[in-house]
Amino acid sequence: MRNSRIYIVLITFSIILSIYLSYVILTNVNIGIDVELNENGQLEVVDLHNWARETGIKDGDIIISINNEPSTDHWTVIKYRTVEQADSILVKKPNDLYAQLAPSKQLRTRDLFFQFIIPASFMALMIVFSILLYRKKKEEKSALILTFFFLMFGLSLLSSHASARADIIGKIIVVSGFLYTPTLLMHFFNTYFKKKDVVFCNSKVFLPLYSWVTLVFLAQSVFLIVDLGYLYNYLRITELVTFVFSFLICLFYFVRGFVTYRHSDVRPVFQLIMFGLIFSFGPIVLLHTIPLVINYQPVINGDIGSLFIYLMPLTLFYLVSTERFF
């Protein structure tokens, strides 16, 4: 009965959040202008994404005003050093020409497909799959953990596009998913393998992992509510390092399990998840997250990296559908 209530709360809450995130994505264009104050105290463009790339704005241009107010007063600039949620942008070019831009409220077909249709459809699949798990295996602890993993994963992918639009709830969900999913994956498999008398990892590892991840998550959430100034840079690096560390721990246990049980009937599960981890999280860890940690330009952006991430829950979905788990 207790598990049933948890399932209902998780699924209902996920549906509500999905509707909200969809609304944010569909009613706000991702402008995508990263800025920094230059030596003259002017707001200078340092990087461009999405809509901004097709406007004629270039790196080095100066943002004069946003919504007819000084650009340095715009809240997304103050908090995230990015231009989002703007109705009008006045830009000064190097040749002293000015351009007044008005971001469209309607998503382009490409953005609609990649930023809404794909993640929203995937989230819907995760909800349906969670309902099926509830109906068939609601009394199993491992199934509940897997449901939590699926819903958090789906919400994280959907909310990443709301987060890019400087939506606070979207950012909180992205941070939580980014931090918790590796540990949740380990937790699920530890619970699952116990039923098969297979040693995956020591259960004592979860308390420090969950505690540290929660501490980092709470610190990031505080930043999203109040301005912590330069401390955000340290929080961001801590978040990225935590994700990389959690991923490596998770990968280590699967590699160890694969080697240890290579002659047993659980070998295919270890093998499939091990390669699933490498091909889903590997690109975003090696080509996006680690470069950010060491202050280099990422080789791939988050949108491309997220396409690889879809492989992980789909791998789990395959294992469940072929009755390898339950």
Q: What is the pLDDT of residues 173-215, one digit of tens each?
A: 999 998 999 999 999 999 989 888 899 999 999 999 999 999 9
Q: What is the CATH number of domain 33-101?
A: 2.30.42.10
- 118: tokens are 């794909």
The label of the residue with tokens 């709301």 reads: 162
Q: Rounded to whole angstroms, what are the CA distances from 90 to 33, 58, 146?
A: 13, 13, 48
Mean per-residue pLDDT, 261-272: 90
Per-residue confidence (pLDDT) for residue 154, from 0 to 100: 94
- Lowest average pLDDT, out of 27-41, 137-151, 171-185, 219-233, goes to 219-233
Structural domain boundaries in the chain: 2-25+108-321, 33-101
Closest CA to 270 of 204, 201, 208, 209: 201
Judged by phi (left if over 0) then psi (alpha if -120 to 50, else beta), residue 29 lies in beta
Whole-angstrom distance, CA of residue 277 vs CA of residue 262: 18
Per-residue confidence (pLDDT) for residue 16, from 0 to 100: 97
Per-residue confidence (pLDDT) for residue 220, from 0 to 100: 83
Q: Rounded to whole angstroms, what are the CA distances from 162 to 112, 116, 141, 207, 319?
A: 13, 10, 31, 31, 30
Sorting pLDDT into bands at 50, 70 and 90, what band is 228?
low
- Lowest average pLDDT, out of 85-94, 115-124, 312-321, goes to 312-321
Whole-angstrom distance, CA of residue 27 vs CA of residue 301: 23
Residue 64 has pLDDT above 90, yes or no: yes
Whole-angstrom distance, CA of residue 219 vs CA of residue 240: 13
Q: How much is the pTM?
A: 0.87
Beta-bridged to residue 63, according to DSSP, are 43, 91
Residue 324 has pLDDT above 70, yes or no: no
Q: Rounded to whole angstroms, what are the CA distances from 9 to 77, 120, 121, 123, 138?
A: 36, 20, 21, 16, 13
Residues 18, 127 contacting (CB under 8 angstroms): yes
How would you label 66-77 residue by residue, b for 16+ Cβ within 10 Å and e otherwise?
Answer: beeeebeebebb
